[in-house]
Amino acid sequence: MQIGIIGAGTSGLCTAIKSKQLGLDVQVFDANSTPGRKLSATGSGRCNISNQHAGAQQYFTDDQNALQRCFEKIPLVQVLTFLESCGIPTTASEDGWIYPHSYSAANVVDILMDNLKDTKLRTNTLITKIIKNKDGFILHSADPSQQYHCEKLILACGSPANPQLGARAVLYDPIAGLGHTILPVHPALSPIETDPTPFHKLQGVRLDAGVELLYQNKLVVQNIGNIIITQWGLNGPGVMDISHWIDPDKIDSYQLKIDFAARFGQEIEKALSSANNAERSLQALLKAYLPAKVVDFLLQHARLEKHLHCGDIHQPQKEALLYAIHNQVLAVRGVRGFKFAQASTGGVPLGEICPETMQSRRCPGLFFAGELVNVLGPCGGFNLHWAFLSGLIAANGLIKK
Ligand SMILES: Cc1cc2nc3c(=O)[nH]c(=O)nc-3n(C[C@H](O)[C@H](O)[C@H](O)COP(=O)(O)OP(=O)(O)OC[C@H]3O[C@@H](n4cnc5c(N)ncnc54)[C@H](O)[C@@H]3O)c2cc1C
């Protein structure tokens, strides 16, 4: 049986390897000149390949139930065993983020390609049109003299996030032509632009903080994660993980509330009131928890002199300081676009796909894998995990009667 795979990215390479292991005849097409371009840039080149906490509940999708069934079909350990069988043993950090032993995304691409030595890989081949007939699928490429046939087709062509790595959005119309809905595609895992004025002295600061997204002063979603303060707004997983909740058409109604001490609960409050710290300066006490620039900013904000002793401040001063620590509100100005996004929302609804096989419910013989499907995980290896997980289900689905 001739299998066609469009996309030699993470999910396409995974599907090709597994299909080959199952004895299938595979042909892979990619518009880029080299395979795995996005994969080779992941995790700042270190490839955060999976996460020990990967489970359906961590993801944003149109069909939670179907996603749960995907995770039941191929549990985490099977994804890691597959990677190991390809020659990619992994290791987990304390917080559960999983990396290859080599900590090298480029090595991961090379190793995956080594598993595909005898496989037909057509690079520089942009597929522009897909026709279904009684024998399978005809794929038209940008070169009108080239057409390809396959009996079953896997679409693993990703999303338009990060076009500088060759990401593109060419196949949504052809997929709609095969009977699928295409949900609006938006950038996700993207930095958030905010009014830079309040934090202008904090540029370059990086810390773990609580982030609440407010719409018309009401809480939309909250997160605790690493943020980086920049001249245009906030970057880092703490804000990227929630950027897809912002409706770009209503941008003026959103605010971000930053809690600099979300990780510490009531600890700073207790330390400020502790008799043991009565002789300690406010600045020294806060430096135990926060970067020096943030400490100076907060003391200035609460109009407190930095050498003041903790034991000498009055209750209203303490309240002003705690308020400044926990409630810094910034007006949202925008979400940085696809160029800065690590992923997307939208695309092909998971609800139109059988979760046991990743086969289309609309077009028999058509399968999906990876980010083309409306499944988004937070930063931390969850999206590569989905690319591998869905790729494995799709490959196994090819031989399911
Ligand atoms: C900078 C950056 C860092 C990231 N870091 C991480 C991380 O550390 N951990 C994590 O979990 N996730 C990370 N991600 C997200 C992760 O890389 C993606 O979710 C994952 O690669 C998606 O895999 P995919 O196979 O669906 O798509 P891709 O890997 O993008 O592959 C799609 C392939 O399809 C090809 N293609 C598209 N259209 C066509 C067409 N019409 N014809 C032929 N070929 C076509 C493209 O050229 C591409 O090679 C990161 C993303 C970016 C941009």
Q: Are 81 and 141 in contact (CB under 8 A)?
A: no
Give the mean pLDDT of the chain.
97
Q: Is 391 helix (H, G, I), strand (E, B) or coil?
A: helix
Q: What is the CATH number of domain 2-188+339-398?
A: 3.50.50.60
Q: Above 90 in pLDDT, residue 258?
A: yes
Residue 284: half-sphere exposure toward Cβ, Cα within 13 Å: 10
Write the pLDDT tens digit of every residue in 307-340: 999 999 999 999 999 999 999 999 999 999 999 9
What value does the mean pLDDT take over residues 21-42?
97
Distances, alpha carbon 207 to alpha carbons 43, 53, 204, 243, in Å: 18, 22, 10, 18
Q: What percent of the chain has pLDDT over 90?
A: 98
Q: Name the residue with the closest Cα to ligand 1, atom 23.
A: 10
Write the pLDDT tens digit of every residue in 77-87: 999 999 999 99
Atom of ligand 1 nearest to the CA of 371: 26
Write the pLDDT tens digit of every residue in 194-204: 999 999 999 99
Atom of ligand 1 nearest to the CA of 7: 34
Q: What is the pLDDT of residue 7?
A: 98
- Which of the listed residues 95, 157, 358 should we mutate to test ligand 1's pocket, taking the one with most ligand atoms within 8 A of CB? 157
Write the pLDDT tens digit of every residue in 354-388: 999 999 999 999 999 999 999 999 999 999 999 99
Q: What is the pLDDT of residue 223?
A: 97
Beta strands in 266-319 (DSSP E): none
Beta-sheet pairing, 136-141 with 127-133: antiparallel
pTM over 0.85: yes
Tokens of 153: 């087709």
Query: For helices 105-114 and 10-21, what crossing angle results, to 10°?
Result: 30
Q: What is the pLDDT of residue 149?
A: 97
Atom of ligand 1 nearest to the CA of 161: 53
- How many whole angstroms from its chain centre is CA 20? 28
Distances, alpha carbon 162 to alpha carbons 38, 188, 342, in Å: 8, 11, 7
Q: Name the residue with the closest Cα to ligand 1, atom 5.
A: 42
Q: Above 90 in pLDDT, residue 290?
A: yes
- What are the pocket residues of ligand 1 if the criterion is a CB atom closer than 6 Å to any ligand atom? 6-12, 29-32, 37-39, 41-43, 48, 126-127, 156-158, 161-162, 165-168, 170-171, 342-343, 370-372, 381-384, 387
Q: Name the residue with the closest Cα to ligand 1, atom 29.
A: 9
Q: Above 90 in pLDDT, residue 400?
A: no
The domains of the chain are located at: 2-188+339-398, 191-336
